[in-house]
Structure 1
Amino acid sequence: MTKPSVAIVTDSIADIPSEQVKTLKISVVPAILIIEGQSYIDGEEISREEFYHRMPTMSEPATTAIPSSIAFEKEYRRLLDSGYERVLSIHVASQLSGMINAASQAAQAFNERVRIFDSKSLTMGLGFQVMEAAEASLRGQSFDAVLDVARSARDRVRLVALIDSLEYLKRSGRISWLRASLGDLLQMKLLVNVIDGVVGRLGIARTHRKGIIQLLSHVKSWGSLERIAVLHSAIPDEASAFADKVRYLCANPPLIVDVTTLIGTHVGPKAIGLAGLCR
């Protein structure tokens, strides 16, 4: 079998399950989680279970940091030295993170051989774009064809979530519109979506159960799906039950993904969401 000419790189915010990372030969540059002054490599030095166990008793909110441009440069060089002709590096939305900036700085050392692509999404909204591009690369498609596949996937991804507690978003200060309406929402469950890299308010619910009903209603409006993933922060049983409710929307079985601690830092425990790739 001829080796693909295009290497696919992403960051750990993509939340792609390890089995798919291995099978699709995806390179993942991990972000950094900082807990009470101690730095941890995302997905390697602290488990998600330990993170959520510690979260309520942390003396200060956990924070996140992007990898250095040197980390990206090392990965690009490793891939190109191993025989790949080009690298397509697909990352979390530039409006939500500085990941694109670090990757772009690293790419300058390789002229046109490394291309940075803004997914305008996160978690499996990003992950599905990466998986589609990786599958195209493994089929032996050209760089331009793989890039077109990523663009098509970006146009077709959908992402919604139900956030059980706004306390963690309040601490992060990442969502500007939330600050203006926080007093009205603190006791509510918040439904959000991500469109073109922007987190938007989709609705509110007084209870978690009513929020789930709203979430299902929004997902049904997506129509037929090629891929679907149930996303959650430390509620695997509920995520599994939710996957059964949306299974009919997609010929492929839903992925169930415990979101990275970097997202959990902002949404807290008990968040649940859905990512879909429309046909």
Structure 2
Amino acid sequence: MPDRRIAVVTDSTSSLTAEEAAEHGIVVIPLQVIIGATSYDEGVGGASPQMVAEALKNFTPVSTSKPTPTGMLEAYQRLVDEGYDEIVAVHISGEMSGTFDSARVAARDAPVPVHVVDTRQVGPAVGYAAIAAAEAIAAGASGEDAVELARSWAEASTTLFYVDTLEYLRRGGRVGSAAAFIGGALAVKPLLRIEDGSIVSFEKVRTAGKALGRLEDKAVEAAGDRRVHVVVAHLSSPDRAHQLASKISARVDLAAPIRNAELGAVLGAHVGPGMVAVCVSPADRADL
């Protein structure tokens, strides 16, 4: 019996570059960004981080939308038409987006088995989980084994970030109104992390400079003695991101140079200009 062909799917919030997705054969399904009255797919040729940042600065309404189950099913069908027998779908936290639910609904009607993974993560941590699944499948792993590896990889990753204001997270329902009001009233700069799929505050500082220093220390702490991959992402804050990446580079065992990139349009819409994030993910399976 010939080997089963297993595809890996993720969504555009995974922060994979086009080159990374192509290298690992990962299919990326876009979320949508609505700027004013116009809807764009996230990604090349669609909504860019710069478009979102400019709209937010100009007080133009910005919102986001998950892929529909129908759109997901169409993507699965294309893969079946290409000869795939099984699909592993690795997605943003179900606590943060309805993308996971759309994938589950589509999976019920798919003509081949679809294993849907709620990574309980966002951004690059989702991307690293998808890459781990794709590499495992390329090495001969089953779909079920790839699912477990993706979950383990996401769980072993750390996502930390700083925002200039909680207002954008409040608008999107990602933090409560009371928390956003208190943060603004006291001029507090919260440091946030993804914990069990949701955003939680783990420390408060008074200045952006102190926030970057604490992000650096927490990233180093998350890396420990492991060899790691690190991504520093930002929205309209290249200088802050470059500074943070340089300092982390000198303190951790990197498997590759830190990737310093602007945050994707969908996530950017919920955090606003000035945001800086860092993702620390293991480079070796033995460190899960």
TM-score by length of 1: 0.92
Runs of at least 5 residues in structure 2 that lack an aligned partner in the other structure: none
Return the offset for 1:106.
Answer: 0.7
- Three-state SS of the structure 1 residue aligned to 2:16 is coil
Query: 2:127 maps to which residue?
Result: 127
Q: Secondary structure at the match of 1:159?
A: strand
Residues 139-178 of structure 1 mapped to structure 2, 5 A cutoff: 139-176=139-176
Q: Deviations over 1:95-152 (max 9, x none)?
A: 1111111111111112661111101011112111111111112223222222232122
Q: Aligned pair 1:235/2:237, yes or no?
A: yes
Which residues in structure 2 correspond to 1:19-34 (within 5 Å)? Answer: 19-34=19-34
Please tell me the residue identity of whatever aligns with 2:276.
I
Change (3 A) 1:228 1:59: closer
Identity of aligned residues (%): 27
RMSD: 1.8
Partner of 1:185: 183
Residue by residue, what CA displacement relative to the aligned partner does 1:185-221 show, whole Å, maximum 9, x if unpaired?
1122221000110111011111100101111121121
| 8 Å CA contact retained: 1:91, 1:126 | yes
| Distance of aligned partners of 1:269 and 1:4 in 2 relative to their CA distance in 1, 3 Å threshold | farther
Runs of 4+ with >3 A deviation: none
SS at match of 2:125: helix
Q: Which runs of no fewer than 5 residues in structure 1 stay unpaired?
A: none
Residue 163 of structure 1 contacts residue 271 of structure 1 at CA under 8 Å; is this kept in 2?
yes
What are the equivalent positions in structure 2 for 1:70-149 lying under 5 Å apart? Answer: 70-110=70-110, 113-149=113-149
CA distance in 1, matches of 2:189, 2:221: 21
Cα displacement (A) at 1:3: 8.5
Does the alignment pair 1:276 with 2:277? no
Residues 181-190 or 29-38, more deviating: 181-190
Residue 52 of structure 1: aligned partner: 53
Q: How far apart, CA to CA, are the structure 1 residues paired with 2:38 and 2:206? A: 36
Q: State how far apart, in whole Å, the 2-side matches of 1:3 and 1:233 are.
A: 43
Q: What secondary structure does 1:221 align onto?
A: helix
Instruction: Verify the 8 A CA contact 1:169 1:267 in the aligned structure 2.
Output: yes
Q: What CA distance in whole angstroms lies between the structure 2 residues aligned with 1:207 and 1:3?
A: 56
Aligned residue pair count: 275
Name which of structure 1's ranges 249-258 and 204-213 shifts more when overlaid on structure 2.
249-258
Match for residue 247 of structure 2? 245
- The separation in 2 between residues aligned to 1:5 and 1:151, in whole angstroms, is 21
Q: Is the 8 A contact 1:66 1:98 kept in 2?
A: yes
